[in-house]
Chains A and B, each alone.
Chain A
Amino acid sequence: MPDLQVGAFYNPHLGAELVATSGIDHLAMADPPAAADPHWPAIRERYTLLLHDYLGQLSEPLDERSIRRARDLAALYRSPWVAEHFQCLHTEDGTYNLNYVFPPLYTEEFLGRFTTNAMALQARLDQPLVMENIPGFFDVRASRMPEPVWLQRFFEATGVGFLLDLPHVWLEAHYRGIKAERWLAQFPLEHVIELHVAGVEEDRDLQGPWIAPTEPSDEMLAFMADAVARCPRARAVTFDAFSPSLSMDVLRRSVDRIRAAL
């Protein structure tokens, strides 16, 4: 996989160090740059930037304002592709909002909604759209098909790319009590364009592991190497950590260790 790019997320509090460092191929942008960010012009000049903002949940059609924002950000970043998530985290009436990852029900209705709305968004973008898998912490009885089957059907229907978040797969396997490699094998890896890798730590609410702004373990890196070998279209691996508590040392070491493990 000689052309695989290895990068991280842009964390504005590390802006000065990211401008000065080398060996990081790209930065994913989770938020637009702040107007007062003194490092943004150099970051934009220096790096390939990947649009990874929240654009909207594709269980509903994106409105014109959201599409314009997505187009403007993609143009600003000169992003090679645009990412969104398989998530449905606020109610239709706007009353409740979880503000964090939560997947849709894996049903025909939601497959139709995401397929239609992703294709409508793709038609308005100048870059390819990729969609990221979102982990479930618990099974919902109203889901009607396994997540990998639902994803396979989505990607086949839309031609959209797959942003494979490996810790999400690893966590789901953990909470299902199955081996991560066995769970991963069911996902449609032939559609993967980008992979996310991250560290996990024990969370006291979940009473188990969850993604944290820490280095990926050796186990996670081995899982990544195995996954990448099965993703023939993969173009980039991104260390997925975006937090004010992330240190440059952790970011730097994580990128180096990802590169070494590939």
Chain B
Amino acid sequence: MNDRAVQDLLIRALADAPYRESPEWRSRALADPERVERFARFLARHFYYERIVHFFKYSRALGRITGRQPAAVLSGPAFDALLPTAVLGSRATAQAVAGLVAACVREGESPTQVPYLNDLLRYEAAMMVVEAGARVWTDAGKGDGGRGTGGATPEIVEGTVFLDLAYDLPAVLPQLLKPWTAVPKAVERPTRLLVARSQHGRVAVARSDDTVAAVVQLADGKRTLEQLAAGAGLAVPQLEETLKGLVDLGAVRFWTGS
């Protein structure tokens, strides 16, 4: 095993609490386990602090109405209870932490003043969960995610989600981050959003409709463009245009079967 591989074991041990408890890790005796555990817990709190500050910034802006600051969950017993099973960057841990934040903010909810708070918390949690997962840090030059040729078939990217909201949230979000005295209002209107992540970890959101939803849901890596177009009720040129937008968003990639 080369030194880079040993470094990967250390990184995994610090990120993955169940692995730290495994005989595989413990038998290596690479470092003082008590020190490793303390540093791992410190890293976990830091890791999710950064994500809560970023993804729950709208709830933070509403803090003077709800009386709740999202990052406060990190110093509570519920977060401590998650630490023995936490795997930094995993979807499961992101889901669990986002759930704690949403519950904390809801406890202080003032429904008459922020009627769209539930939608907002679902939106913020979805962003945080979609961001989780392995990512590409260094391009190898393979161009994954391109349009595809020679029989390549489109496939939904794991983690991509649709969000059906009761309020038109995208219209109100920028206002929440500006100075305000009265809580910015959102129009009550069914709104479907598509949340996806690029291979490099950039999370993007786009308004969606039934056609886009059909394309994404049918993109299983097996159907050809013609089959997909027929299923979604689109002409192939229209489908190609839709797919281009979905690839740019990170929701769909082309599967070459390699």
User: How far, in angstroms, from A137 to B32 measured CA to CA in the complex?
Assistant: 10
B107 sits at the interface (CB 8 A): no
Measured CB to CB, the closest approach of chain A to B32, in angstroms, equals 5
One of A97-105, A125-133, A160-168, A179-187 at the interface: A97-105
**CB–CB B138/A63 < 8 A:** yes
Instruction: Give the residue of B3, B35, B174 whose beta carbon is less than 8 angstroms from that of A107.
Output: B3
In Å, the complex CA distance between A60 and B88 comes to 22
Nearest CB in chain B to that of A207: its residue = B38
Which chain B positions have C-beta within 8 A of A244? 53
Q: Of B38, B42, B89, B138, which one neighbours A96 at CB under 8 angstroms? A: B89
The number of chain A residues touching the other chain, given as a range, is 35 or more
Cross-chain contact A138 with B12 (CB below 8 angstroms): no
**Interface 1/0 per residue, A98-137 and B, CB below 8 Å:** 1110101101011001000000000000000000000001
Given that A56-B137, A93-B134, A100-B47 are contacting pairs, would A206 and B39 also be in contact in the complex, using a CB cutoff of 8 Å? Answer: yes
Write the nearest CB–CB distance from B90 to chain A, whole angstroms. Answer: 9
Known interface pairs A92-B8, A210-B42; A105-B32 also in contact (CB < 8 Å)? no
Q: Is the interface of A mostly helix, strand, loop or mixed?
A: loop
State whether the Cβ of B62 lies closer than 8 Å to any Cβ in chain A.
Answer: no
**B36 near A: Cβ within 8 Å?**
yes
Residues on A with beta carbons closer than 8 Å to the beta carbon of B136: 94
- From the candidates A60, A94, A141, A207, name the one contacting B135 in the complex (CB within 8 A): A94
Question: Are the C-beta atoms of B31 and A141 separated by less than 8 Å?
Answer: yes
Per the bound structure, the CA–CA distance linking A225 and B10 in Å amounts to 35
Indicate whether B155 reaches chain A with its CB closer than 8 angstroms: no
Contact mask for chain B residues 46-58; partner A; CB cutoff 8 A; 1 contact, 0 none = 1100100100000
| A141-B30 contact in complex given A96-B11, A104-B7, A206-B42, C-beta closer than 8 Å | yes
Tell whether, in the assembled complex, residue B38 and residue A137 are in contact, meaning their CB atoms are under 8 Å apart.
Answer: yes
Q: How many of chain B's residues have a CB under 8 angstroms from any CB in A?
A: 40
| Known interface pairs A89-B11, A90-B11, A97-B89; A205-B35 also in contact (CB < 8 Å) | no
Residue ID in chain B nearest A140 by CB atoms: B31
The distance in angstroms between the C-alpha atoms of A36 and B14, with both chains bound, is 36
Contact between chains at B14 and A98 (CB < 8 Å): yes
Which residues from chain A contact B39 at a C-beta distance below 8 Å?
137-138, 205-206
What string of 1s and 0s marks CB contacts (under 8 Å) between A181-217 and chain B? 0000000000000000000000101110010000000
Q: How far is the CA of A62 from the CA of B15 in the complex (A)?
A: 23
Query: Which listed residue (A91, A97, A109) contacts B2, Cβ 8 A?
Result: A109
Q: Is A139 an interface residue (CB 8 A)?
A: yes
Question: A142 interface residue, CB < 8 Å from B?
Answer: yes
Query: Across the interface, do A203 and B138 meet the contact criterion of CB distance under 8 Å?
Result: no
B16 beta carbon closer than 8 Å to chain A: yes
A148–B35 CA distance with the chains assembled, in angstroms? 22
Which A residues are within 8 Å of any B CB, using their own CB? 36, 56-57, 59-66, 88-100, 102, 104-105, 107, 109-110, 113, 137-142, 203, 205-207, 210, 244
A-B residue pairs in contact (CB < 8 Å), sample of 6: A66-B138, A96-B11, A99-B50, A99-B89, A137-B39, A139-B31
